[in-house]
């Protein structure tokens, strides 16, 4: 897979711009979902993903083949999303999302609780400060390892670990706060 990636990249660098379409095809899902989780809106995520791919195309000659292309793509995508989030500042986008609740055999009440919890978690993730949100998404949603996160963010292991720990605690605090304000489905003990 990676060998094929590098072949495509070499083709692009050799002047065959159409070869890039194959890379877009391979990584669009990764880039789009990362952008969507970072930005929280479908339209913004599409714009950001397109821009991220254009940035990849422009800086393809700076790609270092010792890293996986997916890591490099994530790096460019998250950096661009972080820029957007910094510009956006206080405005939070919260979109109700249609979840596909895969667990079968749940009672309607259980399904409702599960849906409410998912909504709350999503809302909590959206309200995290950008650099903490980035780590939560990379580790828990994209399933990246610490070393991959270090490559994506360009930060040391200590910083990544501390920031992720802090992000989890913040997320828990936000959830507890949201839960107290609404239906108390997490049964928070204080």
Containing H/E element for 61? none
Residue count of the chain: 190
The answer to whether 40 and 93 have CB atoms below 8 angstroms apart is yes
- Which of 8, 32, 40, 148 is the binder for other proteins (CB under 8 A)? 32
187: left (phi over 0), alpha (psi -120 to 50) or beta: left
The answer to whether 5 and 69 have CB atoms below 8 angstroms apart is yes
- Which of 136, 144, 152, 178 is the binder for other proteins (CB under 8 A)? 136
Q: How many CA atoms lie within 13 A of 49 on its CB side?
A: 23
Max Cα distance, the chain (Å): 62
Q: How far is the CB of 141 from other proteins (least distance, A)?
A: 5
Please enumerate in sequence order all residues whose Cβ is within 8 A of that of 59, keeping only pairs 6 or more positions apart, or say none: 76
Q: How far is the CB of 25 from other proteins (least distance, A)?
A: 5
Number of residues that bind other proteins (CB under 8 A): 47
- Which of 117, 123, 155, 159 is the binder for other proteins (CB under 8 A)? 117
Q: How far is the CB of 34 from other proteins (least distance, A)?
A: 11
Stretch that binds other proteins, among 44-52, 76-84, 85-93, 151-159 (CB under 8 A): 44-52
The answer to whether 76 and 56 have CB atoms below 8 angstroms apart is yes
Site residues, other proteins (CB under 8 A): 15, 17-18, 20-21, 24-25, 28-29, 31-33, 36-37, 42, 46, 49-50, 53-54, 57, 97, 99-100, 117-118, 121-122, 124-125, 136-137, 140-141, 143, 146, 165, 168-169, 171-172, 175-176, 186-189
């Amino acid at each position: 897979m990676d060998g094929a990636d590098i072949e495509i990249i070499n083709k692009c660098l050799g002047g065959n711009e159409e070869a890039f379409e194959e890379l877009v095809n391979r990584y669009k899902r990764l880039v789009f979902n990362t952008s969507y989780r970072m930005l929280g809106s479908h339209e913004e995520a599409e714009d950001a993903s397109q821009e991220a791919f254009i940035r990849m195309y422009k800086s393809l000659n700076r790609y270092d083949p010792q890293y996986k292309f997916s890591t490099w793509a994530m790096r460019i995508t998250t950096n661009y999303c972080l820029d957007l989030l910094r510009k956006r500042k206080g405005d939070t986008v919260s979109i109700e999302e249609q979840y596909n609740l895969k667990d079968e055999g749940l009672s309607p009440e259980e399904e409702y609780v599960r849906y409410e919890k998912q909504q709350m978690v999503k809302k909590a993730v959206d309200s995290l400060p950008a650099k903490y949100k980035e780590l939560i998404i990379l580790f828990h949603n994209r399933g990246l390892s610490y070393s991959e996160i270090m490559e994506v963010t360009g930060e040391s292991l200590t910083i990544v670990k501390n920031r992720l720990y802090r992000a989890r605690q913040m997320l828990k605090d936000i959830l507890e706060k949201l839960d107290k304000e609404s239906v108390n489905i997490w049964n928070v003990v204080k």
